[in-house]
Amino acid sequence: MFSFELDKEQKMIRNSYAELVKKLVADTIHDQDEAGALDPKTIQKAWELGVSVSAVPEACGGMGMPDSPMQSAICLEELAYGDASFAIAVTTPSLFISPLLRYGTEAQKNACLPPVCGETYVPATLAMCEPDLAFDAASPKCRAEKKNGAYILSGVKCFVPKAKDAKYILVAASTDQGPQLFIVSADNPGLKVGDREKTLGLYALDMYRVTLENCKVSAADKLGGDNGCDYADVLARSRVGLAAVAAGISRASFEFARDYAKKREQFGAPIGTKQSVAFMVAEMAYEADAIRLMCWKAASMLEAGKPAVREAYLARMYAGEMAMKIGDYGVQVLGGHGYIRDYPQERYYRNARGIAILEGVATV
Amino acid sequence: METVVLVKRVPDTETLVRIAPDAKGILLDGARMVMNPYDEIALEEALRLRDIHGGAVCALSAGGEKTVETLRTALAMGADKAVLLTGLESGSADSLTLARAIAAFLRSLPFDLVLAGARAVDDDGYQVGPMVAEFLGIPQLTFAVRVLVEGGAVTCHRAVDGETVVARAALPALVTAHKGLNQPRFASVVGIMKAQKKPVETVTLAGLALPEGKARVETRSVRLAPERAGGLIIQGETPEEKAKVLVRALADAGAL
């Protein structure tokens, strides 16, 4: 039977992440966002919950459980309900671990997974976005030329989360066989991590511009070796991840606006009793649910081993558009309070704006 | 070291409390139920002690089918096994009945330490832990903010009026955990998955040799605390002016 009901484990996992957000994130995230830095101790605590490594074989430091895009989507939503920067930072290693798990050769998994799958949070990331007006994630401008049995990468990447501290960066580059991913170590002399990006939202998440100049990687560092990887699938998983983040921001924005509209009185009655406000809140409610349903559909198809390129694309596109609308309405319901930084609505609004822009910052 | 942790399923403290139509209790349908936060602290301490001294941690709770969820949470946090005592109809059991039942069961179990929350956030009785210790005839150290187990004894710190009382008791003993003892862990994904495979044993009260004894406490009625009246904000341009208004208000209230 077709069901939207989460199973027992999924509910417990959701509750555990929700508890962590409630106890460790909710009260402090405003200051972390203002300061432009996340508390490393909280990231470590969230890392220990283990969604990023649950599917990693035990020999590589993980838990050896089946890969579950649904589980990842549930966790990402809960983390993003607290804060999108926090959600993305905590799961940034997944951007590296997840494609490696699916497509890495045994040698790649054995070499690269253990250092980033331990008990301590060690960032590894994915460089997908490019600072190009006509950027299309499906055909990166960054090139990988094969030369004397190695690859020379050249190009510029932007919005690469945690690049400065990353042990490995998975770089998306075009090859003669289409776009592929390359494992680049932090100490590669051809890799330059530039300044931190100054962004409209996600203040607390450090993202960087990364330049690849004559960056030589061995043929063995092409993800999947000779077989390469299914780049469209990696992209799809990233898009489902982004949709899950959007679901979290949207739910947070909706709930805050709903509670505010019930309490805030104007002209002798709560503003929520005015249709102009109530309609906005209702729209936020159903769009937030719609984002989640589209996200879960794509995630459950991936979980069933079916290709979900189309569903992932639609989920992310819808999520990007609706998260903006929800964020906008959230600010509007609060009026002046929505515009000042003392209330979380403007943060939701700023962070939601990034969903439609960013690629490769979250994955399931 | 064998440790038993008493855990209780309670409504989340953020749940909006609704009084039942017969005013004898509160309505729990739809309320989010969680493990009593003080019991989480007790469980965390048990897990910490197990990591140091080895042995196993058993989570014990009494209640209906739904209580298994709370025990699963304990297992997901790291408890090795769980026991559910059934047969105590909710509402009919007071702390005394419950403590008798728990003690009767614990007599059948080898243990070195029993840990419990200092209080449960639903009815704030503070009683079950100490009563269990009494029935078992073992020492009890309550409101622990620090616990050390060494050489067959347990030492606990308890904060009293800004001072610390350090008390020591030979094992087996019962300790109740207070805020500040530790920060309970969150159940991890792998812990949750493993918890589904760990055993939850169900024990019915009928099978225990329970001493005779009826509940001594009867709930007559439950009502919400009256809403607090709004405070008085003293208005005035200058401190002197405000002080005058305040003095007048105090006098009017008969406080001067």
Mean pLDDT of chain A: 96
- CA angle centred on A215, ends A213 and A218, rounded to 5°: 165
pLDDT band of residue A180 (cuts 50, 70, 90) is very high
Distance from CA of residue B48 to its chain's centroid? 18
Mean pLDDT of chain B: 91
According to the model, what pLDDT value does residue B207 have? 75
* Burial call B83-111: b when 16+ CB within 10 Å, e when fewer: bbbbbbeeeebbbbbbbbbbbbbbeeeeb
Dump strand ranges (E) for chain A.
125-127, 143-147, 150-161, 168-175, 178-185, 191-196, 207-218, 265-266, 269-270
Digit-coded pLDDT (tens) for B52-104: 999 999 999 999 889 999 999 999 999 999 999 998 765 557 888 899 999 99
pLDDT band of residue B123 (cuts 50, 70, 90) is confident
Nearest chain A Cα distance for residue B221, angstroms: 30
A354: tokens are 């990034």
CB burial of residue A102 (10 Å; 0-12, 13-18, 19+): middle
Given an 8 Å threshold on Cβ–Cβ distance, is A12 in contact with B187?
A: yes
DSSP character string of A58-96? GGGTS--PPP-HHHHHHHHHHHHHH-HHHHHHHHHHHHH
> B30 or A131, which is more confident?
A131
Is A215's pLDDT higher than 90?
yes
Q: How far is CA B196 from CA A51, A61, A318, B192, in A?
A: 17, 22, 36, 7
Closest CA relative to residue B134, chosen from B178, B174, B170, B161: B174
- Name chain B contacts of A48, Cβ cutoff 8 Å: 185-186, 188
Q: How many CA atoms lie within 13 A of B230 on its CB side?
A: 3
pLDDT band of residue B235 (cuts 50, 70, 90) is confident
CA distance B122 to A40: 34
Given an 8 Å threshold on Cβ–Cβ distance, is B196 in contact with A71?
A: no
Q: Are strands A207-218 and B2-6 parallel, antiparallel or unpaired?
A: unpaired
Q: Return the CATH class of domain A125-227.
A: mainly beta
H-run or E-run covering B148: strand B140-150
- Name chain A contacts of B195, Cβ cutoff 8 Å: 12
Q: Is B16 helix (H, G, I), strand (E, B) or coil?
A: coil
A61: region left, alpha or beta (phi > 0 left; psi from -120 to 50 alpha): left
Q: Which amino acid type is present at position A187?
A: D
Is A146's pLDDT higher than 80?
yes
* Pairs of CB atoms within 8 A across A/B: 45
According to the model, what pLDDT value does residue A170 have? 98
H-run or E-run covering A162: none
pLDDT band of residue B208 (cuts 50, 70, 90) is confident
Q: Percent of chain A at pLDDT above 90? A: 94
Other CB atoms within 10 Å distance of the CB of residue B229 = 6
According to the model, what pLDDT value does residue B214 have? 73
According to the model, what pLDDT value does residue B213 have? 66
Residues 6 or more apart whose Cβ sits within 8 Å of residue A209: A131, A156, A157, A158, A160, A193, A194, A195, A197
Q: Does the domain spanning A231-356 belong to CATH 1.20.140.10?
A: yes
Residues 196-235 of B with CB under 8 A from A: 196
CA distance A104 to A113: 10
Is A159's pLDDT higher than 90?
yes
Is A261's pLDDT higher than 90?
yes
Q: Percent of chain A at pLDDT above 70? A: 99
According to the model, what pLDDT value does residue B87 have? 83
Q: Does B43 touch chain A (CB under 8 A)?
A: no
Give the pLDDT mean for B141-157: 96
**Domain limits of chain A?**
8-116, 125-227, 231-356
Is B108's pLDDT higher than 60?
yes
Whether B100 and B213 have beta carbons less than 8 Å apart is answered as yes
According to the model, what pLDDT value does residue B217 have? 84
Q: Does B33 touch chain A (CB under 8 A)?
A: no
Give the pLDDT mean for A169-186: 96
Residue with tokens 């991913």: A181
According to the model, what pLDDT value does residue A92 have? 97
Give the pLDDT mean for A99-122: 97
Predicted complex ipTM: 0.87
CA distance B13 to B30: 14
Given an 8 Å threshold on Cβ–Cβ distance, is A16 in contact with B192?
A: yes
Given an 8 Å threshold on Cβ–Cβ distance, is A65 in contact with B189?
A: yes
CB-closest option in B188, B195, B196 to A49: B188
Interface test with B, best of A14, A15, A24 (most B CBs within 10 A): A15
- Give the 3-state secondary structure of B176-219: EECCCCCCCCCCCHHHHHHHCCCCEEEEEHHHCCCCCCCCCCCC
According to the model, what pLDDT value does residue A133 have? 85
Other CB atoms within 10 Å distance of the CB of residue A94 = 28
Q: Considering the entire predicted model, what is its pTM?
A: 0.90
Nearest chain A Cα distance for residue B190, angstroms: 7
According to the model, what pLDDT value does residue B206 have? 78
Superfamily for A8-116? Acyl-CoA dehydrogenase/oxidase, N-terminal domain (1.10.540.10)
Q: Is B126 helix (H, G, I), strand (E, B) or coil?
A: coil
According to the model, what pLDDT value does residue A190 have? 97
According to the model, what pLDDT value does residue B211 have? 67
H-run or E-run covering A185: strand A178-185
Digit-coded pLDDT (tens) for B160-181: 988 999 999 999 999 999 999 9
Locate the chain A residue with the closest alpha carbon to B77.
A16
Is A225's pLDDT higher than 90?
yes
Whether B26 and B222 have beta carbons less than 8 Å apart is answered as yes
According to the model, what pLDDT value does residue B133 have? 97
Is A1's pLDDT higher than 80?
no
Q: Does B9 touch chain A (CB under 8 A)?
A: no
User: Is there a cis peptide before residue B172, judged by omega within 30 degrees of 0?
Assistant: yes
Give the pLDDT mean for A322-326: 97
